[in-house]
Amino acid sequence: MPAHHDGVCAALAVPVAPGGAPRDRRRPPFPGLPEHVQATVRAGDGGRFAFLLNHGQEEVEVGLPAPMTDALARQAAPTDRITLPGAGVAVLIEP
């Protein structure tokens, strides 16, 4: 795994296969996303990870396709909904 550069968020430094984890094409990432929210899903040996970006300025609530844990909030229990602040991000892990 390449060395981390200064300024890289430790929460995003998850181990993946060399070259990165392939996209998980078995399921659509997040059907019915609110306007201005982008979702990317990656899956590998370490699990299934979702990255949500709210490009809008308003807070939005996003329904998740399966219960997931919010890695940035260090939330203990998986949830099926998450609130993203304006210009906010979420890193989610599917247990």
What domains lie within the chain, and their CATH numbers? Answer: 10-94 (2.60.40.1180)
Q: d(Cα 34, Cα 61) in Å, to the nearest integer? A: 8
Going from the C-alpha of 6 to that of each of 47, 71, 95, the distances in angstroms are: 26, 20, 29
pTM of the model: 0.68
CA distance linking residue 81 with residue 4, whole number of Å:
31
Collect all residues with Cβ–Cβ distance below 8 Å to 72 and sequence separation of at least 6. 11, 89, 90, 91
Q: Summarize pLDDT for 35-63 with one digit per residue, the tens.
A: 899 999 998 888 889 999 999 999 999 99
The pLDDT value given to residue 56: 96
